[in-house]
Structure 1
Amino acid sequence: MRMQLLCKAHRVCEIDQETGDIFIFNQALMPLNLSLSDFHGTIKQRISNINSFDAWCAERVLSIDRRYAKRILNELGLTQSQSTEDKARISRLYRCLSLQDSYWVKKEDEKVSWKDVNLFSNSFSNAFVSVSLLGRSLTLRNKDLYSRMPDITTNGRYAKAWNRVDDQIIMYKADDIEGNETIREVNASKILDCFGVDHVSYELACFDGHRVSMCECMTNEDRSIVPYRHFIAACKRKGIDDVDDIINEVKKLMPQVTTP
Structure 2
Amino acid sequence: MAKAHQQYILMHKNVPVAELELDSASGYISAIGSIYNDRHVPVGILVKNGRIDRAALNRWWEGRAIPTSREGIRRALEMMKVSTTQQLVDKCMGLSLSDQYWICPKKSKVKWEDVNFFEHSFSDDVGNILFGKDTKAKEISLMSPDNTSDGWLKKKWVIHKGKRYLIKGGSGAIQQEPYNEVLASRIMDRLSIPHVVYVLITQEGYPYSICEDFVTPQTELISAWYIMQTHKKPNNVSLYKHYLNCCERLEIPGVKDFLDRMITIDYIIANEDRHQNNFGAVRNSDTLQWVGPAPIYDSGSSMWFSKPNTLISARAKIPCKPFKINHDEQIKLVTNFDWLDLSALKGIDEEFREILKGSLFIDEKRRDILCFALRKRIEMLEKIVNLRLTKLPEDNIEEDVTRNTAYNGH
Report the TM-score range of the alignment, normalised by the length of the smaller protein.
Answer: 0.7 to 0.9
One-letter identity of the residue aligned with 2:16 = R
Counting only pairs closer than 5 Å after superposition, residues 54-133 of structure 1 correspond to structure 2 as 54-80=58-84, 87=86, 89-133=87-131
**Partners of 1:20 and 1:182 in 2: CA distance:** 41
Provide the identity percentage.
21
How far does the alpha carbon of each residue in 1:78-135 deviate from its partner, in whole angstroms, 9 at most, with x for none?
Answer: 114x7xxxx2x432232111111000012221232112210111111234433223x2
Match for residue 152 of structure 2 among 154, 157, 166:
157
One-letter identity of the residue aligned with 2:38 = Q
For structure 1, the residue ranges without an aligned partner over 5 or more in a row are none
Answering whether residue 246 of structure 2 is matched by residue 246 of structure 1, we say yes
Cα offset, 1:24, TM superposition: 2.1
Partner of 1:257: 284
State the structure with more CA Rg: 2
Counting only pairs closer than 5 Å after superposition, residues 1-260 of structure 1 correspond to structure 2 as 2-15=7-20, 20=31, 22-37=33-48, 49=54, 51-80=55-84, 87=86, 89-133=87-131, 135-143=132-140, 145-146=141-142, 148-177=143-172, 178-207=174-203, 210-236=206-232, 243=242, 245-251=245-251, 257=284, 259=286
**Partners of 1:216 and 1:200 in 2: CA distance:** 8
CA contact (8 A) 2:65 2:88 kept: yes
**Partners of 1:167 and 1:208 in 2: CA distance:** 25
How far does the alpha carbon of each residue in 1:48-69 deviate from its partner, in whole angstroms, 9 at most, with x for none?
Answer: 53x4443332221001101122
SS at match of 2:103: strand
How far does the alpha carbon of each residue in 1:130-171 deviate from its partner, in whole angstroms, 9 at most, with x for none?
Answer: 3223x222222323x33x211111010111110011111011
**Partners of 2:102 and 2:286 in 1: CA distance:** 17
State the TM-score, normalized to the length of structure 2: 0.53
CA contact (8 A) 1:128 1:138 kept: no
One-letter identity of the residue aligned with 1:116 = D
Indicate how the Cα distance of structure 1 residues 216 and 248 shifts in structure 2: closer, same or farther if over 3 A, else same: same
**Partners of 2:186 and 2:134 in 1: CA distance:** 35
How far does the alpha carbon of each residue in 1:184-218 deviate from its partner, in whole angstroms, 9 at most, with x for none?
Answer: 11011101111011100000113355331110011
How many residues align? The count is 243
Indicate how the Cα distance of structure 1 residues 206 and 17 shifts in structure 2: closer, same or farther if over 3 A, else same: closer
**Partners of 2:111 and 2:209 in 1: CA distance:** 34
Indicate how the Cα distance of structure 1 residues 236 and 256 shifts in structure 2: closer, same or farther if over 3 A, else same: same
**Partners of 2:66 and 2:114 in 1: CA distance:** 23
Indicate how the Cα distance of structure 1 residues 17 and 203 shifts in structure 2: closer, same or farther if over 3 A, else same: closer
**Partners of 1:168 and 1:28 in 2: CA distance:** 30
How far does the alpha carbon of each residue in 1:213-246 deviate from its partner, in whole angstroms, 9 at most, with x for none?
Answer: 11001112222111111110122289xx665642
Indicate how the Cα distance of structure 1 residues 191 and 161 shifts in structure 2: closer, same or farther if over 3 A, else same: same
**Partners of 1:129 and 1:21 in 2: CA distance:** 31
Cα offset, 1:6, TM superposition: 0.7
**Partners of 1:172 and 1:17 in 2: CA distance:** 31
* 118-127 vs 66-75, greater mean Cα deviation: 66-75
For structure 2, the residue ranges without an aligned partner over 5 or more in a row are 1-5, 24-29, 254-280, 288-410
One-letter identity of the residue aligned with 2:46 = S
**Partners of 1:78 and 1:164 in 2: CA distance:** 25
**Partners of 2:200 and 2:21 in 1: CA distance:** 47
One-letter identity of the residue aligned with 1:139 = K
Indicate how the Cα distance of structure 1 residues 237 and 10 shifts in structure 2: closer, same or farther if over 3 A, else same: farther
State the TM-score, normalized to the length of structure 1: 0.81
CA contact (8 A) 1:3 1:15 kept: yes
Structure with greater contact order relative to length (CA < 8 Å, sep ≥ 6): 1
SS at match of 1:246: helix
